[in-house]
Amino acid sequence: MAAAHLQMPKIGYGTWMRRGREGRACMEAALEAGYRHIDTAQGYQNEAMVGAAIAASGIARPEIFITTKVKPPHLTRLMFMPTVEESLERLRTSYVDLLLIHWPSPKNEVQMASYIEDLIKARELGYARSIGLSNFTRPLLIQAEEIAGPGQFSELQIEVHPFHQNREMTALARSKGLHITAFSPLALGRVAEDPAIQAIAAEHGATAAQVTLAWLMARDFTVIPTSSNLARIHENLEAAKLSLSSGAMAQFDSLNRNMRLLSPEHAPPWDEVTP
C-alpha cells in the first residue's frame, strides 16, 4: 500500500488548456495566491510548464500536491512506465502525489489488466504516492477493482458540477472508499449564467463560481477549477472559506439535469443515469 503522504487540498488549480506564456503566468499566479494542489496530465502538454512554475515559486516540493495522468496512447506495456518517467522529468520531481489513468483504453485496445498492473507498479516503484482512475464508468470501475483488489485506488476524477451531479457514479465510488475530484466544477462557465446560482451568490455576497465550489467542497468533493483570469484565480481559492446556508445547499442539489459537457470520441460508453 502507499506510504503516508501529503493530504490532497480540497481545492486545486486545474491546468487543462493552460499553455504557452499565458499558461505559465497563470500557474505562477495560482501558486503565489496560495494554491498547493496542481492538476495536470500528459495530454495537456504542459507538464514541463508546471514543473518550471513550481521550481520558480521557491515552494518546497513536499508542500505541493501534484496530480498527473497517463493518456490512452501510453497505456501499453511498452509505453506506460517510460512515459511516466518522462512525466516526472518534465515535472522536475521524483514522484507525483497522485497518478491517474486519464481515460480507459478506447474500445479496450489495451487490456485493462495490463495498465492497472502498471499503475500499481508505478506506485510500488515510488513514482506515485497514490493512484486512481479518471473518466471510468461504473462497470469499468468495478472491473478495475476486481483486477487490482480492494483498497488499491484512492481517487476517482470525474465530471461533476451543478448540472451534472453524477450521483450514481459518486455513490459507487464512495462505497468502495474512493475520494472524488470534480473536474469542470464550474460547468465550463455556465454556472455564472444560471439565475438560481446567481441568487445564491447574491445571498452570500460571493460570486457564482465561489458558491458553486463551496457547495461541491461541502459535499466532500475536491475541486480543480481553471481560469486564465488572475482575479478569478484568487476568487476561486477564497471559496474554501465560504459556508453555504442549508437552503442554498438544497437549491444546488435540485439543479441536476445530467448535462454532461465533456465527451470526446475516445470516451467510454457512458452509464445510463436516472433523472
What is residue 209's DSSP assignment?
Answer: H
Looking at the chain, how many residues does it have?
A: 275
The 3-class SS string of 91-154 reads: HCCCCEEEEEECCCCHHHCCCHHHHHHHHHHHHHCCCEEEEEEECCCHHHHHHHHHHHCCCCCC
- Spatial neighbors of 163 by CB under 8 A, at least 6 apart, are 187, 190, 255, 256, 257, 258, 259
Taking residue 111's Cβ as centre, other Cβ atoms within 10 Å add up to: 14
Q: Furthest-apart CA pair in the chain: how many Å? A: 55
Residues with catalytic annotation?
44
Find out whether 128 and 224 touch, Cβ atoms under 8 Å. no
Question: Please, how many CA atoms are within 13 Å of residue 105, restricted to the half-sphere of its CB?
Answer: 17
| Strand ranges inside 170-275, DSSP E | 179-183, 221-223
**Cross-strand partners of 130:** 98
Q: How far apart are CA 59 and CA 62, in angstroms?
A: 9
